[in-house]
Structure 1
Amino acid sequence: MAKNKILASLFRAICDDQRITTIHFGLFTAIALCWERNGFQYPFNISRRELMAICKICSTRTYHKCIKQLHEFEYINYFPSYHPVFGSTIYWHKNFEGKSKKLFIMDFNF
């Protein structure tokens, strides 16, 4: 599946979800931007510091709460590394089911 179609499906899924706030959306957008900056590698690593700067989150508590919720809401699979150099690993969750019950199945075999 083309990368632009994957991004469109990701954003359609998150826009239909009533649980998502502007902070979630900003963090999700920052994650998508990091994916693009990493050459659309799958999986990809992220830096908390970089994401917080991109989406203008000042509190690490807010960052951790929102990234944990994106994981719980099954938009991402988040694996923290606790290593300052390597960063945490992100996988896009393959199934997205929003409040509108639309199902987005992602094919990540590029």
Structure 2
Amino acid sequence: MENLKPLSDFFAAIEKDFRISTTHIAIYAALLQLRIERGFINPIDVFSRDIISKVKISSTYTYIKCIQDLNDYGYINYVRSFKKTQASKIYFTDFEE
């Protein structure tokens, strides 16, 4: 159950945030799943192609827009890599602070 706390905290944080869509939620959940698989490290290194395939979206533009929104709204800190061979970094926000 401890693994679900970050997702529960995220849902509590977005409850009244009208800017968040189902695509934002799917991307955040996929990022959180990667974090769990990697032992809850913070940050995680992510390639957009890995998340796009997990979330079942077909547009890189949609991914970048939504991940940038999550960054701008304070749910994550996204450090984009512009190199195809270098992953971007995703820092997760601690909602308890």
Query: Into which bin does the TM-score normalised by the smaller protein fall?
Result: 0.7 to 0.9
Q: Aligned AA for 1:35?
A: R
CA RMSD of aligned residues (A): 1.7
Q: Gaps spanning 5+ residues in structure 2: where? A: none
SS of structure 1 residue aligned to 2:90: strand
Q: How does 1:61-80 map to 2 (within 5 A)?
A: 61-80=61-80
Q: Which position in structure 1 is the counterpart of 2:8?
A: 8
Question: In 1, Cα distance between the equivalents of 2:67 and 2:6?
Answer: 20
Aligned position for 2:54? 54
Q: Which runs of 5+ in 1 are unaligned?
A: 95-103
SS of alignment partner, residue 18 of structure 2: coil
TM-score, normalised to structure 2, is 0.85
If you compute each CA radius of gyration, which structure gives the higher value, 1 or 2? 1
| TM-score normalized by the length of structure 1 | 0.76
- Aligned residue pairs total 96
Q: CA deviation at 1:3?
A: 4.5
Asked whether the 8 Å contact 2:3–2:36 carries over to 1, the reply is no
Question: Which amino acid letter does the alignment assign opposite residue 84 of structure 1?
Answer: K
Contact preservation (8 Å) 1:46, 1:90? yes
Structure possessing the higher relative contact order (Cα contacts under 8 Å, 6 or more residues apart):
1
More helix by share: 2
Q: Does 1:105 align with 2:91?
A: no
Distance 1:64 1:34, change over 3 A: same
Separation (CA, whole Å) in 2 of partners of 1:59 and 1:80: 17
Q: What residue number does 1:88 align with?
A: 88
CA distance in 1: counterparts of 2:16 and 2:32, whole angstroms: 17
